[in-house]
């Protein structure tokens, strides 16, 4: 009788262990992220003027390097994997890289930009620079961890967790499209340089692969034509709207980009068979949010929460969120709405924490991914 109970107990332990293993088979020890403002957790304000209140008001209670009132999709992703929020590689104060690092920069692009931030409006931390930073991070962190040790072993990743076991996330390309549209290009002109963007992105991923990276989670780009700033800057292209008020023309570029991106990821699967690639359809998640906003508790998805000017979008490009401007002796300020959780658009360019959380829940289970694997199983996308 005692032997039978012991056998039953051992079997139960094996079953439970298998369930735990099946539930989270990848066990990613770290995330390394590359992208733009939709996933930047502090690089941009470490280089340029820091974001001011009311940014960060919802979750952090203060500006926290994010272009939002709170957390971003990448924050929810890290949390779901049991990892800490990613510190920006360029943030020297209080950073902890034990479970990864974030190389994304607000205003970041796939292609390098001509001119400085002040002349172009875009960050010099393009994707190739982010990849260089990643290479530097690997080399320096391994050396410091092994040769200096001490406090650094508490804030740097263990060398064995550094490259091959980590998840690599890419969320970039929106600014490359916006750059063309805001330079008065047509959709056809924007589409003409998308193949070059794909070559550069593929090259960046190839570099990470050559360094040992094997698990890639690649976001497509969102609904540019549903963002108030794009609608305000290109009223000519915003003239033709769909049923929810988004610009048909301004959404054509992202759809073209996303189709080419999916093809690029498919080619990378063939070229790099030892890697696992997951293509994630953020565009559909974001459009679903826009189209269902009022049904699921949001207000007008095209109206800015933190802005100034009223009107259709409550957006004024000269008086942004947290900005004070004196006009004819009167101070005008881009203020936050009372309850950001009811808004989709935070500042006309970026989304609210509530919107990012909705998008996270749309993509985390793999329903919008190719192959349809959940985030925690992204390592199993190999060969699919």
What is the spatial distance between Cα 274 and Cα 137, in angstroms, rounded to a whole number? 23
The superfamily in CATH containing domain 28-380 is SGNH hydrolase (3.40.50.1110)
pLDDT in tens, 273-285: 999 999 999 999 9
For the cut 80, the answer to whether the pLDDT of residue 228 exceeds it is: yes
Specify the pLDDT at position 23. Answer: 57
Largest Cα span, the chain: 91
- Inter-helix orientation angle 127-147/194-210, to 10°: 10
Specify the pLDDT at position 113. Answer: 92
Per the CB < 8 A criterion, the answer to whether 373 and 90 are in contact is no
Burial 132-158 (b: 16+ CB within 10 A, else e): ebbeebbeebbeebeeeeeeeeeebbe
Residues with a catalytic annotation lie at 37, 347, 350
What is the spatial distance between Cα 95 and Cα 48, in angstroms, rounded to a whole number? 18
For the cut 50, the answer to whether the pLDDT of residue 11 exceeds it is: no
User: What residue ranges do the domains of the chain occupy?
Assistant: 28-380
What is the spatial distance between Cα 56 and Cα 35, in angstroms, rounded to a whole number? 20
Specify the pLDDT at position 224. Answer: 98
Specify the pLDDT at position 162. Answer: 83
For the cut 60, the answer to whether the pLDDT of residue 20 exceeds it is: no
For the chain, the C-alpha Rg in angstroms (whole number) is 22
Closest listed residue to residue 359, CA positions, set 92, 38, 66, 98: 38
* Token couple for 23: 């539930």
pLDDT in tens, 335-373: 999 999 999 999 999 999 999 999 999 999 999 999 999
Instruction: Average the pLDDT over 110-125 and give the result.
Output: 90
For the cut 80, the answer to whether the pLDDT of residue 303 exceeds it is: yes
Q: Please give the share of the chain, as a percent, with pLDDT higher than 90.
A: 86
pLDDT in tens, 29-52: 999 999 999 999 999 999 998 889
Specify the pLDDT at position 383. Answer: 67
What is the spatial distance between Cα 309 and Cα 165, in angstroms, rounded to a whole number? 48
Alpha helix (H) ranges present in 183-336? 187-192, 194-210, 228-233, 248-271, 282-292
* Token couple for 291: 């189209």
For the cut 50, the answer to whether the pLDDT of residue 165 exceeds it is: yes
Whole-prediction pTM value?
0.93
Specify the pLDDT at position 17. Answer: 44
100-102/31-35 β-pairing:
parallel
What is the spatial distance between Cα 368 and Cα 122, in angstroms, rounded to a whole number? 30
Instruction: Average the pLDDT over 291-316 and give the result.
Output: 96
Q: Under the phi-then-psi rule, with left for phi > 0, alpha for psi from -120 to 50, and beta for the rest, what region is 362?
A: alpha
For the cut 50, the answer to whether the pLDDT of residue 92 exceeds it is: yes
CA distances 373 to 116, 184, 202, 240, Å, are 40, 39, 22, 36
Lowest mean pLDDT among 146-160, 197-211, 223-237, 269-283: 146-160
Instruction: Give the pLDDT band (50/70/90) at residue 19.
Output: very low
């Amino acid at each position: 009788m005692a032997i039978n109970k012991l056998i039953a107990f051992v079997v139960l332990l094996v079953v439970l262990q298998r369930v735990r293993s099946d539930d989270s088979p990848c066990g990613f020890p770290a995330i390394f992220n590359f992208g733009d403002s939709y996933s930047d957790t502090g690089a941009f304000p470490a280089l340029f003027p820091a974001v001011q209140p009311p940014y960060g008001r919802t979750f952090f209670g203060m500006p926290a390097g994010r272009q939002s009132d709170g957390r971003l999709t990448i924050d929810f992703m890290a949390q779901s994997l049991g990892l800490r929020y990613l510190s920006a590689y360029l943030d020297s104060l209080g950073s902890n890289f034990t479970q990864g690092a974030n190389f994304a920069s607000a205003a970041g692009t796939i292609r390098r930009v001509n001119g400085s931030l002040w002349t172009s409006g875009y960050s010099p931390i393009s994707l190739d620079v982010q990849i260089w930073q990643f290479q530097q991070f690997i080399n320096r962190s391994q050396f410091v961890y092994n040769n200096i040790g001490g406090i650094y072993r508490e804030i740097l990743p263990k060398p064995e967790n550094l490259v091959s076991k980590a998840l690599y996330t890419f969320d970039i390309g929106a600014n490359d499209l916006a750059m063309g549209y805001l330079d008065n290009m047509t959709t056809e002109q924007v589409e003409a340089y998308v193949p070059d963007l794909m070559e550069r992105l593929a090259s960046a991923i190839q570099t990470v692969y050559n360094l040992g990276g094997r698990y890639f989670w690649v976001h497509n780009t969102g609904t540019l034509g549903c963002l108030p700033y794009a609608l305000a800057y290109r009223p000519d292209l915003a003239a033709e709207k769909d049923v929810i008020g988004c610009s048909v023309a301004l959404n054509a570029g992202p759809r073209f980009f996303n189709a080419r991106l999916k093809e690029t990821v498919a080619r990378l699967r063939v070229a790099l068979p030892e890697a696992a690639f997951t293509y994630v359809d953020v565009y559909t998640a974001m459009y679903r949010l826009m189209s269902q906003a009022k049904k699921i508790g949001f207000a007008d998805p095209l109206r800015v929460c933190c802005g100034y000017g009223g009107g259709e979008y409550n957006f004024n490009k000269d008086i942004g969120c947290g900005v004070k401007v004196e006009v004819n002796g009167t101070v005008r300020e881009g203020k936050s709405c009372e309850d950001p959780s009811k808004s989709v658009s935070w500042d006309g360019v970026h989304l609210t924490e509530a919107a990012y959380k909705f998008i996270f829940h749309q993509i985390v289970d793999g329903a919008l991914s190719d192959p349809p694997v959940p985030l925690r199983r992204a390592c199993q996308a190999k060969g699919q």
